């Protein structure tokens, strides 16, 4: 019987290990970038089929192309609308976030 998060962690460890091994094997065979592209593609197909297009996770730029986010408007959890909590953005986004005119602008306010 699962009574705590520790119990849940122990109970799901074998399944997680199998899933990780499967993804590792697929990534080694076709490339991890391709795995991410295909996951995004299939997630999008499912989201569209379920009537929730745009709900899928998207694949971003390679880590080597990112710079630290200036996080001009962190929320209560330390996240910001520019980096979504990743603490990294493209140079173009960092430049926009640092523009004094946009410093306090949030992505949410753009849609209002």
Q: How far apart are CA 111 and CA 107, in angstroms?
A: 7
Q: Would residue 78 count as lying in a domain?
A: yes
* pLDDT tens per residue across span 45-81: 999 999 998 888 887 788 888 998 887 666 676 677 7
Say yes or no: 40 and 78 in one domain: no
Q: Would residue 58 count as lying in a domain?
A: no
Q: Would residue 57 count as lying in a domain?
A: no
Which whole number is the average pLDDT over 80-105? 75
Q: Would residue 71 count as lying in a domain?
A: yes
How many domains is the chain partitioned into structurally? 2
Q: Would residue 44 count as lying in a domain?
A: yes
What angle (nearest 5°) sits at the alpha carbon of residue 65, between those of residues 62 and 70? 115
Please state, rounded to an integer, the average pLDDT across all residues of the chain.
82
Q: In this model, does residue 38 exceed pLDDT 80?
A: yes
Task: Indicate yes or no: pTM above 0.85.
Answer: no
Please name every residue paired with 102 in a beta bridge, in sequence order, or none if there are none. Answer: none
Task: Identify the pLDDT of residue 101.
Answer: 53
- Whole domain around residue 11: which residue ranges? 5-49
Q: Would residue 25 count as lying in a domain?
A: yes
């Amino acid at each position: 019987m699962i009574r705590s998060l520790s119990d849940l962690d122990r109970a799901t460890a074998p399944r997680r290990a199998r899933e990780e091994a499967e993804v590792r094997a697929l990534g080694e065979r076709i490339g991890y970038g391709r795995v991410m592209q295909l996951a995004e593609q299939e997630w999008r197909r499912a989201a569209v089929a379920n009537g929730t297009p745009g709900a899928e996770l998207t694949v971003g730029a390679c880590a080597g192309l990112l710079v630290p986010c200036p996080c001009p408007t962190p929320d209560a959890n330390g996240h910001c609308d520019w980096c979504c909590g990743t603490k990294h953005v493209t140079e173009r986004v960092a430049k926009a976030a640092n523009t004094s005119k946009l410093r306090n602008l949030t992505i949410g306010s753009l849609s209002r």
